[in-house]
Amino acid sequence: MTEKKDECGVKYTLDILEDRWQPRIIFWLGFRPFTIEELHQLLPELTDVALKEKITSLQNLRIVNPVVDEENKYSLTDDGNDLRNDDIWLPNFLEEQIKFMKNKNAICVCCSYSRIDEKSNEILKPVIAKKVITSKDMQAVDYVGTLTGVYDQSKYGKVYLKEELNSLLDDYAFFIDVINLEGVAYGNPKILAKYRLRKGSMTNNKKKLIKKHYLFYKNVLNQNLFKSIYSTTKWGITGFFKYYSK
């Protein structure tokens, strides 16, 4: 009985992952509830009709709550949170980031974050955001990511993920493109997010992560062999002090 249930669970997960858009909807709703309009801004390539169809499908799978809240926002069910239970925005994330962005007169900011284990216990020291992040900085180390970064599209318009990367650090490429618009982003010293470290995750699989970054520098940023090795080494050293500082 248990084996059959496990097989159903695997198929259930694969059915979701095989869809192009459902994992992305789950990803964003994992941060906080969103209205249909907000989700459409985050997923502009989806039409309104297609987005509603994807949400309805996730509701039928009991991943998204069947009823929106009093603010007409969609949220994940407990099953949905089990699928997307890694990174967390604190409730004041957007408010503080927008305030910080206005204060810096910036189009892109990121925040500091704490790190938690699989049981949500805080571990290691919080990662404090670099105060000023230039385009050159981003060419070597991914200081800004989807957990901590916010981009204001009102000045330059929408920037899209590069689908051709097939998830080869496409979020890294996205924020490189964003920061290149004005050459700088700013780091908020306030801790506004939590990053979950899981055993067996890509973050903890250092060999795969090193290879992934090397290929990104070489094939995406078109760095030569020496520069790619240098950038990978710099990223590794920075990551060592960031992730292993007690």
Which of the pair, 161 or 184, is modelled with greater confidence? 184
pLDDT tens profile 217-245: 998 889 999 999 998 998 888 877 766 65
**What is the average per-residue pLDDT within 107-134?**
92
The runs of H, that is alpha helices, within 72-169 are: 78-83, 93-104, 135-140
Query: Is the domain of 78 the same as that of 104?
Result: no
Is the same domain home to 194 and 107?
Answer: yes
Query: What's the pLDDT score for residue 144?
Result: 95
Q: Is residue 38 part of a domain?
A: yes
pLDDT for the residue numbered 78: 77
92 and 48 co-located in one domain: no
Q: How confident is the model at residue 141 (pLDDT cuts 50, 70, 90)?
A: confident
Residues 128 and 43 in one domain: no
Is residue 64 over pLDDT 80? yes
The owner of tokens 């920037």 is 159
**Residue 87: pLDDT over 80:** no
Q: Mean pLDDT throughout 84-105?
A: 86
Co-location of 100 and 170 in the same domain: yes
Dihedral sign computed on CA atoms, order 141, 214, 227, 151 = negative
Residues 101 and 190 occupy one common structural domain: yes
The answer to whether residue 243 is domain-embedded is no
Q: For residues 113 and 68, state if they share a domain.
A: no
Average pLDDT (165-192) is 91
Q: How confident is the model at residue 25 (pLDDT cuts 50, 70, 90)?
A: confident
C-alpha distances (whole Å) from 46 to each of 35, 41, 53, 168, 191 are 15, 9, 10, 22, 32
- Taking the C-alpha atoms of residue 75 and residue 28, their distance in angstroms, rounded to an integer, is 10
Q: Which of 29, 60, 83 is the last residue of a domain?
A: 83
Residue 106 CB neighbour total at 10 angstroms: 17
Confidence at residue 85, expressed as pLDDT on a 0 to 100 scale: 58
**Which pLDDT belongs to residue 150?**
93
Range of the domain at 138: 88-201
Work out the pLDDT band at 28, boundaries 50, 70, 90. Answer: confident
Q: Is the pLDDT of residue 60 over 70?
A: yes
Against a cut of 0.75, is the pTM above it? Answer: no
